[in-house]
Amino acid sequence: MIALFHRKFRKMIARIEVTGRSPSRPRKRILEALEFVRERRFPALVLRSI
């Protein structure tokens, strides 16, 4: 008998929220977060700027 193992994939959405002005330090954190999203290969990205 052959047992089939089905992988359960959970689709994840990356969400980044930016509030206020973005001086250099928070901007660097935003770029690091975007790099993390690219490395993890999330299927979707929501970027919200207030």
Write down the pTM of the prediction.
Answer: 0.50
| Cα 14 from Cα 4, distance rounded (Å) | 31
Over the stretch 1-50, which tens digit does the pLDDT of each residue have?
444 455 555 667 777 777 777 666 777 887 888 888 788 777 777 777 66
State how far the Cα of 2 lies from the Cα of 8, in Å rounded to an integer.
19
- pLDDT value for 27: 76
Q: Which two tokens stand for residue 28?
A: 């660097």
What's the one-letter identity of residue 15? R
